[in-house]
Structure formats: C-alpha cells, structure tokens
Structure 1
Amino acid sequence: MAAPTTEEQEEFLLSCRYGDLDEVKQFIDQFGAASAAEIRDDNGNTALHMLCGNGHADVLDYLLPIIPPTLLSAGNSAQSTPLHWAALNSHLDIVKKLVQFPGGPGIDLIDNKNAAGRSPLAEAELAGWDEGAQWLVQMMKLDPGGNVKEGEVDDANDPAEGDDAPLAPEDIEIEIEDADGQMAKMRLGAQQ
C-alpha cells in the first residue's frame, strides 16, 4: 500500500472530526488501519482524539476493532487522551465505549493524567458534567482505606451491611481531589 500524502492525512483527520464514516472507510480501504493509527496533527491529536471529542460513536465503532488498542491511551502534545476529550465534551456514549472496549486498557484509562495534571474524571468535573463524572467514579473501585482503587467497592466500614452485601450507588460517598488540589465529596447516584 502506498503511504498517504500529507493532504490525505489531513483529510482523514477532518473526516474523523466531522464524523464522515464513508470517508474514513475509504481511507482505511486505500491505506490500511496501521497507516490511520500513525496519523497525528500538529498538536499530536490522533483520529480517536478527533472523533471522541466530537462524539462520533459510529466512526469509533468502526475504528476500535481495527486500530491498535494502544491508540486509546495515546496522548497528544498536552498528554490528553481521547478519553480526556470525550469527558471534556460530555460524550457519555464515547466515554463508555473507550473504557469498556474489550481489547483496550479498560479502567486504567481513567487514571491517565494530562500535562495539566488532570485525569478524564477531573476534566468531566471541571466541565460540570456530573453524569459523566459519576459514571467514571462508578467504574473505579475503592480500597478498604477509602482510597480510590480499581476493581472493588468497600462496604467494610458500613455496620448496616454484611461483608458480601452490595451497596446501592446512592449509599456510596467518595472524596475526589480536583484539579486545584481541593477535596470534593460526591455521592454516587445522587441527583442534583
């Protein structure tokens, strides 16, 4: 396969940005998924940054199975990942697809910090996107000391619950450090 020209690469990124699935498919047919995975703009943004930041789930569904899973955690020049962009722009469907993609990094994506020291969760909070922040927190797990840990929910400190009794989201309150270093309390499932 021939390598795409600079103009063809720019057109591909624009197709991802604007959600033009037919153009994306045409590029993949002509140049291959490996070529698409290597393309970056002047700020280091990938095709995933473009489509995740703009909420194009159909293009994401097409590209996820054919690109390297490492692209999900690729940072741009500001070290922001596609998940950062999806969270910043309040695209819950995209956030879920990125975190839950079977071949990808999974919940580890939530811990990636950009150059400003913010995780995708912090970006969601700064954007005032409570629904997304709550979903991201629900995907995280808490260790017995109350610290955020992947994979578990702690109910050991609740005397009303048995060791194996599940907690409802509204029964969980967590503290999260925001981008300014301030501690914020959040109750899962609480409507605001």
Structure 2
Amino acid sequence: MSSLSVYHVSSPDLPNKVLTHFDDISATLAEQGVRFDRWQAAAKLQPGASDEELVSAYQGPIDQLMTERGYHGVQVISVSSEQQQPAEPPAELLEEQHFDEDLVRLFVAGRAQFNLHIGDYVYAVLCEKNDLILLPAGTRHWFDKGERPHFVAIGLFTAVEPLPRITPGDFAGHFPRLED
C-alpha cells in the first residue's frame, strides 16, 4: 500500500503524520507542487514482460504526459535483489540531490521510496505498483530502494541522461530508511 510519512527536519525519528489513503497522499503532495497519480495498465502484464510491452500497456497516459510536459524520452528501470548480490546501494541514491529537470517515475511492479526535502519537512513517499510520481525540477530528494530491492519503473525525461546535483552533507542519513 502506498504511504506518505511527513517528518519535520528537527525530528527525523518521528513522523508528524502518516497517510495511506491515495487522495490524502495526492492532495498533501500537490500542496508542495509534487504530482502523485495512480495509473492503470491498458493490458494485463505478465512477469518478464519486455520493456516495449511495459511501455505499451501505459502508452496513452505516457503520451499525454509527454506532450503536456515536453518530455522526449522513456526508459524502463528494473531492479531486483535476485539480479544482484545484496550490497549497499550506490551512495548517490541515498544522498540528498536534485535535477535540473523534472523527475518522473511510474511504478509498474514492486516498491521504492522517494524522500522529498521541501522547506522544513521531509515527505517520505512509498511508491508501489501503478503509482506515478512527478518531482518538479529542483526538488531536493533521495531515493531508497530498500534492503532487498525489487521494482520496475518507467521514467520520462527531457535530457538523455540527467545528472543529479548532490547536496553537500549527510542530511538524508538522519531519516529512516525503507525497511523490508
């Protein structure tokens, strides 16, 4: 189940609120300029579906969002703990960062968590199947795949390979990680 935990930066161990209803999550994030939607696939997807099949299942809404926001590229991102040895995630994922363009992810399977640092709050958004999150350019965040990562997501972008701008310091390290 998707969820949103909101932390004040002064109390990273205790969320001010935890939301689990889609409408509440979406409205709270919208107040911060973050889009959170739920998309349904137009066709039933089988495990092991090709990248083309995954994109095709969501083609209508993908095309609409690409036209609306001016995105040029689509990429399927697939991560599984079965594909790799358990290890620490790449450090840059768990460091606060931002991009000069929007960050868009549609989760097709599995789950992962985006942690958004906006003003004096951190919004920990647990994304699961059919969740779409759109972080506007410049949104400070870090991404947590969890201890045993498993997710498939579709990313939309304007640059070929957007490069993150890492925020100095260990701000992200003070907040809870996604635990499996």
The TM-score range, normalised by the shorter chain, is: under 0.3
Query: What TM-score do the two structures reach when normalised by structure 1?
Result: 0.25
**Greater radius of gyration (CA):** 1
The structure with higher relative contact order (CA 8 Å, sep 6+) is 2
- Which structure's residues are more often strand, by fraction? 2
- Which structure's residues are more often helix, by fraction? 1
